[in-house]
Amino acid sequence: MHIPDGFISPKVYIPAYVLSSGLWIYSIKKVKKILNEETLPFLSATSAFSFILMMVVVPLPGGTTAHGLGICPLAILFGPFISFLSISLVLLIQSLFFGNGGITTLPINSLAIGFFGSIIVFYFYKIFGKFKRLGAFLGSFFGVIFSSFLISIILGLQPIIAKDPQGKPLFFPFGFSVTIPALVIPHIFVGIAEGILTLIALEIVKKFDKGKIFERKD
Amino acid sequence: MKEKIKLGIYIYLLIFFTILNNPYFYFISILFLVLLDLKFLIRNIKRILLSILLFNLTITLAYAIFTGIKSEVDFDYIILINLRVFLLTYLTFFFISHTNLFLALNFSKNLSALLSIALSQIIHYNKIMEDMKFAQKSRVIVNDKKLLKYFSKAEINYFFTKSINNAKEAALGMKSRGFFND
């Protein structure tokens, strides 16, 4: 799902940076409030879990890749904003040290995966109340699907907004008719796998957490 | 301060290279970066090529077929996109190898602490994942789904146990140095 550098026009990634910067500043303030010797181990462990899932990559015919996100434990334990910040850090590390994803595309990947993905997971988990496992599974599933849909929209937009005087594309060359099915359909299967892995991960995190962070009310 | 200036130049160049859609300029910029540090090219060329190969090859082939069917293969676009992606990736790896990222990003104490801990965990677990993959391969002859499920559960359990324990140690170390008191 990660978009590398060079495929997204500045017309898209510069506004995305502006939007993300505001959300990052707000998220850093939130992290400051909750960061202590009890929360930090869980934050770093769940961030590393997200990284591991994102590194298991399957290439897709539309030109991008399918992979798990691992956002559910982060979003449930810490809320969507801290989850967004952690996922952004994971994406930053991936792009800088592992060559997976890009720096110009960082805010797009972060918003699609980290922000909107986390919001979906968080609210599904909350809405399902008593049926937390179902909420976590569905949240993870739809989080993946929606993130892939957003990425496909951003990619499909490129040949429309960034072309030379002859009408040739300058960045990503394929429109929505290619990007939406190429990204969303494989991510249905990824979403199911993500849901199953999330349930396993949540059980393990719960075992360690002993209700300290997991059952907090906010 | 020096590291922050490098970060600023890097960001400026990233934006500049994506605004300027000129393959000749991209080519000259790549040559310039190569000449700036030839040893870097030798050490990192494989890593750079591998990181862009999958995405670029798929796009290049798909677009070549797509335009080839319609009229003729659009080589201008293929050269432009491949040079741009190579240049931006080369620049990123070049920047990382010549900059202390933690000094460049230390405008927020919490952010840099989180980055250092997450990075140390990630590097460590990337290695563990590799080891686990080999361990699983060497122990499983047939593709049994039950075994795979068992391995996945055991791997996640091991991963979280180790990860949380390591991070707890780091957090206690940070606490003893007064990190959470400010």
For an interface test with A, give the residue of B18, B74, B88, B90 to mutate (most A CBs within 10 A).
B18
Print burial letters for B88-126: b (CB count within 10 Å at least 16), e (below 16): bbbbbbbbbeebebeebbbeeebbbbbbbbbbebbeebe
The residues near A173 (Cβ < 8 Å, ≥ 6 apart) are A158, A159, B59, B63, B66, B77, B81
For an interface test with B, give the residue of A44, A89, A97, A178 to mutate (most B CBs within 10 A).
A44
Measuring CA to CA, which residue among A79, A160, A65, A157 is closest to residue A118? Answer: A79
Q: B22 at the A interface (CB within 8 A)?
A: no
Minimum mean pLDDT among A5-9, A34-38, A214-218, B17-21: which range? A214-218
Confidence bin at B27 (pLDDT 50/70/90): very high
Question: Is the predicted pLDDT of residue A217 greater than 50, yes or no?
Answer: no
Question: Is the predicted pLDDT of residue B182 greater than 60, yes or no?
Answer: no
Look at residue A218 in the predicted model and tell me its pLDDT.
44
Q: What is the 3-state secondary structure (H, E, C) of B97-124?
A: HHCCHHHHCCCCHHHHHHHHHHHHHHHH
Residue A205 buriedness (CB in 10 A; 0-12 / 13-18 / 19+): buried
Angle between helix axes B75-98 and B23-36 (nearest 10 degrees) is 30
Per the confidence metrics, is the pTM higher than 0.90? Answer: no
Which chain B residues have a beta carbon less than 8 Å from that of A64? 55
Confidence bin at B149 (pLDDT 50/70/90): low
pLDDT digits (tens, 9 = 90+) for A75-105: 888 889 988 988 898 888 888 888 788 899 9
Confidence bin at B166 (pLDDT 50/70/90): confident
Say if CB A50 and CB A90 are below 8 A apart.
yes
> Higher pLDDT residue, B170 or A155?
A155
Question: Is the predicted pLDDT of residue A213 greater than 60, yes or no?
Answer: no
Mean pLDDT estimate for chain A: 84
Confidence bin at B26 (pLDDT 50/70/90): very high
Print burial letters for A45-72: b (CB count within 10 Å at least 16), e (below 16): bbbbbbbbbbbeeeebebbbbbbbbbbb
pLDDT digits (tens, 9 = 90+) for A165-203: 888 889 999 999 989 998 898 888 888 888 888 888 788
pLDDT digits (tens, 9 = 90+) for A42-56: 777 777 777 777 766
Phi, psi of A169 (to 5 degrees): -70, 150
When pLDDT is averaged across residues B103-123 and rounded to a whole number, the result is 74
Minimum mean pLDDT among A167-176, A207-216, B67-76, B149-158: which range? A207-216
Which residues 43-102 in chain B show a CB within 8 A of chain A?
A: 47-48, 50-52, 54-56, 58-59, 62-63, 66, 74, 76-77, 80-81, 84-85, 87-89, 92-93, 96, 101
Instruction: Check A95 against B163: CB less than 8 A apart.
Output: no
ipTM greater than 0.90, yes or no? Answer: no
Instruction: Check B129 against A55: CB less than 8 A apart.
Output: yes
pLDDT digits (tens, 9 = 90+) for B52-89: 887 888 888 888 888 888 788 888 889 999 999 999 99
| Whole-angstrom distance, CA of residue A33 vs CA of residue A41 | 15
